[in-house]
Structure 1
Amino acid sequence: MTELQKQVADTERAFAKTMATRDHAAFTRFLSEETVFFSGPSPLHGKQQVADWWKKFYEKPDAPFSWEPEQVEVLDSGTLAISSGPVRDPQGKLIATFTSIWRLEAPNTWRIIFDKGNEVCDCPKK
């Protein structure tokens, strides 16, 4: 893993830790002002709209899910990165995967600009 990939993976882990520690304010600090999250019925635009919508996930004492990066790739320019990995319920069951796009917005400061989760389907095989 390159140094930039490690930076992004560490940033994603710190972002995920905000859920485990129930720290919504810290979650918000990882969001770019122009972030877009594909959460809910339609995309959420901007840091405030995403923070407001996600607040419900931070209100109960126990985290409703967790996530961690499995794959990280960074452009050669070192300014954009993608991370993806599993999303698990409190019992550790895989419930979704996520993909996040990160932008380097200041030296050593990666912020999320796009985020999308995909539910895992236990659909019968055809």
Structure 2
Amino acid sequence: MNRIRTVAATSMVALIMGASMQSNAAAESTKDQVWAAELAFARTMAERDLKGFSGFVAEEAIFFAGTDVLRGRSRVVEGWSKYFVDSEAPFSWEPDQVEVLESGTLALSTGPVRDKQGSVVARFNSVWRLEAGGQWRVVFDKGSPPSPGPQR
């Protein structure tokens, strides 16, 4: 009887650990998707692609521009179009941390913003939402003063 209990308990632990590992793998995969989306979003600035930029912005997005609030994709694109005028990007950004809710539908990405010379001048904070068709789009975006990234 003890052997049956031991086998049953071992099987239960294996099932729980397997489900946990699958859940962790799914979370990492989702995190990788958001990370890749953020990098592609940043690349639109480097490549001077305002139309591509627009594709990463949710229809109902809110971007903070100092004390102004840009509501909706069209206003965000209009407000950011000035950053796409010159042949060289005025700044760049890249994530150093991405966190995703367990539901896998909402994520935060954050990282340094650099000027043309590569100096860190700010930190971006973007909230991403998984939309229809599996497309990740930014719903909130706000910069903040420079701060250190996550300690690894």
Number of the residue aligned with 1:86: 112
SS in 2 for 1:63: coil
User: Which amino acid letter does the alignment assign opposite residue 25 of structure 1?
Assistant: K
Q: What does 1:1-126 align with in structure 2 at a 5 Å threshold?
A: 2-120=28-146
Q: Specify the SS of the correspondent of 2:86.
A: coil
> Following the alignment from structure 2 to structure 1, what is the Cα–Cα distance between the partners of residues 104 and 144?
26
Residue segments in structure 2 that go unaligned for 5+ positions in a row = 1-26, 148-152
> Whole-Å Cα distance in 2 between the matches of residues 119 and 60 of structure 1?
25
Q: Tell me, in whole angstroms, the C-alpha distance in 2 between the residues paired with 1:119 and 1:77.
A: 30
- Residue 92 of structure 1 aligns to a residue whose secondary structure is coil
Q: What is the aligned residue count? A: 121
Tell me, in whole angstroms, the C-alpha distance in 1 between the residues paired with 2:31 and 2:61: 21
Query: Match for 1:84: what amino acid?
Result: T
Post-superposition CA distance 1:14-67 (Å, at most 9, x none): 000000000000000101010000114311100000000000000000000000
**Identity over aligned pairs, percent:** 51
- 3-state SS, counterpart of residue 43 of structure 1: strand
3-state SS, counterpart of residue 2 of structure 1: helix
Which structure has more RCO (C-alpha within 8 Å, separation ≥ 6)?
1
Q: Normalising to structure 2: TM-score of the pair? A: 0.77
Unaligned runs of 5+ in 1: 122-126
Secondary structure of 1:78's counterpart equals coil
- Aligned twin of 1:124: none
Partner amino acid, structure 2, of 1:104: L
Let me know the Cα RMSD of the aligned residues.
1.3
